[in-house]
Amino acid sequence: KRVSAVVFLAILIILPLATLFSHKEYFSETENRKLAEFPKFSMKTIMDKSFMNGFETYISDHFINRLGWIETKTGIELALGKKELNGIYIADERLMEKLPAIDYSAIDKSVDAINKFSENNSSVPVYCLLAPTSAGIYMDELPKNAPQEDQKALIDYVYGNLNDNITTIDVYNILYTMKDEYIYYRNDHHWTSLGAYYAYNATIQKLGFSPIVYDKYDIEHASDSFKGTFYSTSLYDKVKADTIDIYRYDEGANVTDYIVNDGKSETEYDSIYFRDYLTQKDKYSTYLGPNQPLVTIKTDVHNDKKLLVIKDSYAHCFAPFLTQHYSEITLIDLRYIGVSAEDVVNISDYSQVLVLYNASTFSTDDNVKKLSVMFRNK
């Protein structure tokens, strides 16, 4: 017993010390996230307990052979019959997100903010597109008795409470109809370019244009090794890797400029595709790059039509389809932009505004409420 106690005590001391003095990586490619930095040490951080909280997170993120331990834990849980790993459901052919219980009082505040935004900018038509995630389309593939929110009911609720002058866009039905096609990634929370195309087809008609016929596109399979956020969260590697596709319409308009505003400065690019990401973990950032506060796409379309998109990352592989119809498209991510956005965006410059979110983000993101105080038309 004494030997066992000594060995156990040694492990408790040696492993944290080895963790402290081992080589550190501060970004996890596998999990696609930044790892914790060593917390600031001071009397203040000791007294308010932020040092110890930060230290625990630091040790957890940099623990010796951390990914190996996680993979072992995953293997044990699977052997015990678990079908959910860190909020990710394991289906036969895909991974899917477990949505938290929907707080409809929070949804009401987001809906009120969109309504207020429309009232403040009554001269510009506003459209709303809420897209289901894969769990909203493939509910029949979820593990038996797995709790899951009804995304169709959520979308209908939001649309039913928007002002009558806001045009709602139904993409749920077309995506559900096409559910046997490759419309969602198996290892990531986004829709594929094909899923985005079907949504574009429904959306662009509501916006007053004729969609480009699918057969007119030349499709490049740019990567077949994408494993996204669901894999990063669960580390479940038995689902087939995903494909990143780039759609080109050579008979149409061209992107002439792509301007990224990161909140500090602007950088111009000659393409909306960032091919360097095809060799990195975050392959979805091939489309428009990583999330930014504000980006602007300029094209050689000669119709003076400008579109403002209030969005989450579902817009990234959706926006390329819009470039055939607008001379300029500005995309704003409320998660990263401040309330001074009107200093760089004048709503009256735009022909239309599209609010585009997936149902999961819309149900959990408080930033949508910013719309009630932003972009007052002058």
Q: Is the pLDDT of residue 276 over 90?
A: yes
Listed residue (335, 362, 168, 344) closest to 264, CA to CA: 344
- Beta bridge partners, 355, equal 128, 310
User: What mean pLDDT comes out for the span 182-206?
Assistant: 98
Question: Which one-letter DSSP state was computed for residue 142?
Answer: S
Note the pLDDT tens digit of each residue in 326-359: 999 999 999 988 756 777 788 999 999 999 999 9
Domains in the chain: boundaries? 2-64, 103-372
- Global pTM? 0.84
Q: Are 98 and 86 in contact (CB under 8 A)?
A: no
Nearest to 245 by CA among 191, 169, 326: 191
pLDDT for 11: 46
Distance CA 345, CA 50 (A): 38
Question: For the chain, what is the mean pLDDT?
Answer: 87
Please list the residues that pair with 357 across neighbouring strands.
130
When pLDDT is cut at 50, 70 and 90, the band that residue 71 belongs to is low
Return the C-alpha torsion angle 278, 313, 202, 243, nearest 10: 20
pLDDT tens by residue, 210-266:
999 999 999 999 999 999 999 988 889 899 999 999 999 999 999 999 999 988 899
Question: In this model, does residue 309 exceed pLDDT 90?
Answer: yes
Q: What are the angstrom distances between the C-alpha of 6 and each of 16, 20, 323? A: 16, 21, 67
The most confident of 84-88, 101-105, 218-222, by mean pLDDT: 218-222
DSSP state of 23: -
Measure Cα distances from 284 to 35, 223, 312, 359 in Å: 20, 10, 13, 19
Could you say which DSSP state residue 369 is in? G
Residue 152's pLDDT is what? 97
Between strands 328-332 and 306-311, the pairing is parallel
Of 79-83, 192-196, 204-208, 303-307, the one with minimum mean pLDDT is 79-83
